[in-house]
Amino acid sequence: MLNYTNLKHRPTDKELVCEFYVEPNRVTMEKACEQVAAESSIGTWTTISTMNPRAAEKLRPTVFSIKGNTVKIAYPQDLFEAGNMPEILSSIAGNIFGMKTVKNLRLNDIIFPKQIVKSFKGPRFGKEGVRKLTKVKERPFCGTIVKPKVGLNPAEHAKVAYEAWAGGLDVVKDDENLSSMTFNKFETRIAKTLDARDKAQTETGEKKIYMPNITAETMKMLDRADYVKSLGGEYIMVDILTCGWAGLQTVRDANLNMFIHAHRAGHAAFTRNPKHGISMKTIGRVARVIGVDQLHIGTAVGKMEGSAEDVISSQKGLEEDMFGIKPVLSVASGGLHPGHTPDLVKILGKDIVAQYGGGCHGHPEGTRAGATAIRQSIEAATKGISLKEYAKSKRELALALKKWG
């Protein structure tokens, strides 16, 4: 069989590098790593007569680092079809997770070579594009998700959105499981909610953003995006994991000239086990290369699982230099209320969208007051003033802190 290990190898700029967490199963670490490298590229479980020296020499990946359970493998870029994310992930994140030689296996990170990165469109606008659109320069963005997730009719949905915008929020979005139900048809909801957005913009003098969920069969998503655009919407939202990487590529490649808000519904099936699956940082890198403009990464302080270290790592992957493609705006969402805001900003900084669902609509005085309390908490965190001090002159914030702490 081929030898895939060379600890003296140094990756070139024409190799894709994966970092794995590997736990062997009744084999040595070296054997497990060899099997991961083989199964994710040109090899199989036994010697085969059809392997030729040319393919072996040109396309064989290299295990070049084994430190504890952390393993790095370099893959020649010719193993992959440029511009085809499903194929790339079918290789480096495919059959390997089911092999008997590994007890646990987690893809912690991917470093893409320039040729592969440039074969995708990347973000059209990115985080700086969001600031340019909204003219919000020095503070985090604040937003909400219409609640309940499902159950409201279009008029009720639009009213909740209006109250949130009027109370001071920048962003209102659909939740991940709202599409076009019998009680809330997509077209009617979009029209009414965008009308509410326009009203709020006129009254407040601030730019307001609505993110409608277009997730569906791929061609239906394109139809829905066109409809949103025809009514003056700038944003669309896509559940990127449930619609699939090919679906996301189709939406981005359609050149809709619209912002793509990426929801990560289903991510924990991949990311939650720290020893197995795929990290959120990796999912974020893939989404960024394809071309989303903003992406949920977690909060470290709300209801969802995820440490501050993991969330910061995910944010870094969305912002660090990657051959000139635009940085992606991080979205923090999941069980947030105004009392969380200072810690959230301390952990993730100001380049975030802070989204509060129940922490807005659960305010004792309703959605508008909840939105005002959120905006006040953002102002306090940005100015470096404690919430307790700021709440002395801000009734809405004081009521939120009394309820949630």
- Active-site amino acid positions: 147, 263
In a 13 Å sphere around the CA of 355, the CA atoms on its Cβ side amount to 27
Tell me how far apart the 2 most distant CA atoms of the chain are, in Å. 79
Residue 206, CA distances (Å) to 200, 332, 379 in order: 8, 22, 16
**Going by C-beta distance under 8 Å and a sequence separation of 6 or more, which residues neighbour residue 119?**
82, 83
DSSP code at position 96 = G
Q: Alpha-carbon distance 154 to 180, whole Å? A: 10
Measured CA to CA, the distance from residue 353 to residue 138 in angstroms comes to: 13
The edge-to-edge listing of strands for the beta sheet with 171-173 is: 209-211, 171-173, 141-145, 352-355, 329-333, 294-296, 259-263, 235-239
Closest by CA position to 193, among listed 219, 179, 206, 211: 211
Which two tokens mark 295?
């992406």
Q: Are 43 and 37 in contact (CB under 8 A)?
A: yes
Could you tell me the strand order of the sheet in which 62-67 lies? 62-67, 70-76, 15-24, 102-111, 277-278
How many helices (H) and strands (E) the chain has is answered by 18, 13
Q: Is there a cis peptide before residue 140, judged by omega within 30 degrees of 0?
A: no
For 74, phi then psi, to 5°, come to: -105, 130
